[in-house]
């Protein structure tokens, strides 16, 4: 007696992978604004602290905010809101990972790192109070406004010697990349019994 059994199994797997390109870490030209500001009261002596950006491509693809010569008796109280020329506004600074006094340090606030913000408290008027999540595709050229304040109980003291922006820009809006992959597997099994 001969028995032949043939089993064919076909498995098709389809996988869709969506990849969002990481916001670029800027390596472009730094736009710099010198001029010391102090905190005689809770808000900076120049409020907002303006910086004119010219010569960039139209759309922001990446951004790093640089604060130079920061001194503050309570760095965890220093908060900042940045506004792009098209009025896109992002809460970029509430340094809860640091505490106590600091003297003449430089801070780098990068969108790729999510900025050092764990929770927000509204800055004194006339600072904006509605915030976007990102500067992606904000307009690069024009006046950028940085609002800095020692928040909480009107704590005075501290200074910032200068600030700057390092921008990665492009002529077209920043987009995400979607990748789709499909895998097909066929398995055949033949069993012969005699």
Cα-based distances in Å from 53 to 82, 99, 137:
14, 32, 15
Distance of CA 67 to the CA centre of its chain: 15
Query: Are the beta carbons of 65 and 167 closer than 8 angstroms?
Result: no
How many other C-beta atoms are found inside a 10 Å radius of the C-beta of residue 117?
18
Report pLDDT digits (tens) over 42-92: 889 999 999 999 988 899 988 999 999 999 988 888 999 999 999 999 999
Q: The tokens 């809860």 sit on which residue?
A: 96
Distance separating alpha carbons of residues 99 and 75, to the nearest angstrom: 6
**pLDDT for 130:** 92
Name the average pLDDT for the chain: 80
Report pLDDT digits (tens) over 137-169: 999 999 999 999 988 765 678 999 999 999 888
Q: pLDDT band at 31, cuts 50/70/90?
A: confident
Does a cis peptide bond (omega within 30 degrees of 0) precede residue 19?
no
Distance separating alpha carbons of residues 109 and 107, to the nearest angstrom: 6
Q: What angle do CA 125, 140, 33 make, to 5 degrees?
A: 65
- pTM of the predicted model, to two decimals? 0.75
């Amino acid at each position: 007696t001969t028995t032949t059994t043939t089993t064919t199994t076909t498995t098709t797997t389809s996988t869709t992978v969506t990849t969002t390109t990481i916001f670029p870490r800027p390596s472009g030209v730094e736009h710099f604004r010198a001029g010391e500001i102090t905190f005689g009261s809770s808000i900076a002596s120049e409020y907002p602290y303006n910086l004119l950006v010219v010569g960039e491509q139209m759309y922001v693809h990446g951004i790093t905010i640089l604060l130079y010569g920061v001194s503050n008796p309570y760095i965890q109280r220093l908060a900042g809101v940045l506004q792009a020329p098209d009025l896109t506004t992002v809460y970029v600074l509430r340094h809860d990972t640091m505490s106590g006094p600091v003297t003449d340090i430089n801070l780098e606030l990068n969108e790729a790192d999510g900025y050092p913000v764990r929770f927000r408290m509204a800055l004194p008027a006339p600072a904006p109070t509605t915030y976007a999540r990102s500067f992606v595709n904000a307009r690069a050229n024009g006046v950028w406004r940085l609002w800095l304040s020692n928040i909480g109980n009107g704590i005075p003291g501290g200074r910032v010697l200068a600030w700057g922006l390092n921008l990665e820009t492009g002529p077209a809006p920043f987009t995400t990349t979607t990748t789709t992959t499909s895998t097909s597997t066929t398995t055949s099994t033949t069993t012969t019994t005699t």
